[in-house]
Amino acid sequence: MSSSQQAKSREPIQPAHLDRRASGVLLHLTSLPGPHGNGDLGVEAHRFVDWLQHAEQTYWQMLPVGPCGNGNSPYSAQSAFAGDPLLIALAPLVERGWLRSSELEGVSFPNERVDYAASERFRARALRLAFDRARGTLDLRGFRERNRSWLQDYALFRAVKRAHNDAEWTSWPAELRDRDPQALSDARRELADEVEYRCFEQYLFDEQWTALRGYAHAKGVSLVGDIPIFLAHDSADVWQHRELFYLDERGQPTVVSGVPPDYFSETGQRWGNPLYRWDVLREQGYRFWIDRMRAMLTRFDVIRLDHFIGFHRYWEVPGSEKTAVNGRWCAGPGSPLFQTLAAELGTLPLIAEDLGAVTPEMKALRDEFELPGMRILQFAFGTDTSANDFLPHNYPRNTVVYTGTHDNDTVVGWFEAREELASGSESSTRSPEQVRKEQRATLRYLGAADGSNIHWDMIRLCLMSVADTAIFPLQDLLGLGSDARMNRPGQAKGNWEWRALAGATTQALAERFADLTRCYERQQQR
């Protein structure tokens, strides 16, 4: 029986509520093992759901699943609505007769890292073969109609990009850049085959996603997604909705996103995303955000709002600036956006990523809608003035606690940083003495004699806390070091590549994790 058939043969459970004690694992889909270059929605994803059930876990949290853009970052997607074709499993296409097994053989990929360029070439070739053989066997009219607000423009965007050697939309011929109706009509006709192929990709992604989500529900597992507040400039959404962003007549951002100088960077961080014209969004009844949130709720049971601070206030940087130093704070949409979303979609299962320059007003916005905030245990033992807020004895119950996130080092790597710091690494924000103080403070708080089992000590501390929800990167459960880190903010290359080895999620690991989970009353609700 296939995974999708198993999912349909059981009655899905109701997703867990965030106000119950529960726990879960953070693992992006690309980090799963598998034969075709990166993890996907296939058999390994279903096996991981089985492992989560065995480990008594309620949540599987992922990073954004849109088509990756610059630097292979899931936070810089080419669409806020589309799924990443890299995540489409190829084996099911063999079962349907659209691919031959021999066409998926003869190519080897790294097991521990994702080679995005090689994986994309291989998968694109296979998907185009499947598309050619599937012609005439699928009727996508219903799928197109359900996704009419974004699908056709996204498909055309990808088709035109391919026709122009993947150039950014601002460098296209002016009539296409500016969405002249006649030029768009001509492009749809001339590129009809490529547009149809991009719709086919999204159909497959949606079909496989639906099967995985149904299977997860049948196993007592809820999916947690991630919505970046800002969009990539080179995306179908910005091209389609230019009126919603501060852009000049050529489509270039006049102001961009970032964060001001702080302890971590003397020049701040210039993220470069175009900024919303919240006044226009408000006049339109926040329709774009309603559509975006509705689409994400068809995929996920809970959604993490990345950079929640930006909904209260955001750092605006002139587009001509090379750093984020010369910026200013501007008011975000605040309560009206969330009131509109709630009125349209009902109570929203959101997690507020409330890290960074926290203000009382931002806390008030979060608490007005009873959104759980985040606590990162690694932040609890440093010298920062906010460190006390991350100590477990100071948590409110309405909290999601993590040992670390995709932007942090692993627990083992973080704790053992003294060797890296002793070598004079310029990328570090901690001196050798600060590292030693953190180590001493950590062991004292844990009541541990040494750091030989630091990852399990930290996991146990999160599980025993009063926070309603505890989530752990798989790397920490495996006790891996800095080589397994997912992302190093500010580093342009080498991010998002880590993969778990086949067989890493063992039965013994599940049983140990389940035992701790039951001990602190976070097991699945049945």
Active-site annotation, residues: 306, 353, 407
| Separation between Cα atoms, residue 289 and residue 279, nearest integer Å | 13
DSSP assignment letter at 30: G
What number of helices (H) and strands (E) belong to the chain? Answer: 21, 12
- 3-state secondary structure at position 302: strand
Task: Tell me if 82 sits within 8 A of 154, measured CB to CB.
Answer: yes
347 CB contacts (<8 Å, ≥6 apart)?
none
Q: Where are the alpha helices (DSSP H) in 101-149?
A: 116-134, 141-146
- Rg of the Cα atoms in the chain: 23
Task: Tell me if 474 sits within 8 A of 500, measured CB to CB.
Answer: yes
Of the candidates 64, 63, 45, 49, the one whose C-alpha atom is nearest the C-alpha of residue 524 is: 49
Of the candidates 126, 131, 308, the one whose C-alpha atom is nearest the C-alpha of residue 226 is: 308
Exposure class string for 326-338: b at 16+ Cβ within 10 A, else e: ebeeeebbbeebb
Instruction: Identify the residue whose tokens are 């003869």.
Output: 106
Amino acid at site 217: H
Kindly tell me the sign of the dihedral angle through the C-alpha atoms of 157, 158, 163, 165. Answer: positive
E-strand stretches of 210-309: 222-227, 255-259, 269-274, 302-305
Give the neighbor-by-neighbor strand order of the sheet with 22-26. 350-352, 302-305, 222-227, 59-61, 22-26, 469-473, 399-402, 373-376
Task: Tell me if 522 sits within 8 A of 509, measured CB to CB.
Answer: no
How far are the Cα atoms of 10, 216, 217 from residue 13, in angstroms, in the given order?
A: 9, 9, 5
Of the candidates 332, 336, 366, 337, the one whose C-alpha atom is nearest the C-alpha of residue 351 is: 366
Exposure class string for 161-186: b at 16+ Cβ within 10 A, else e: beeeeeebbbebeeebbeeeeebbee
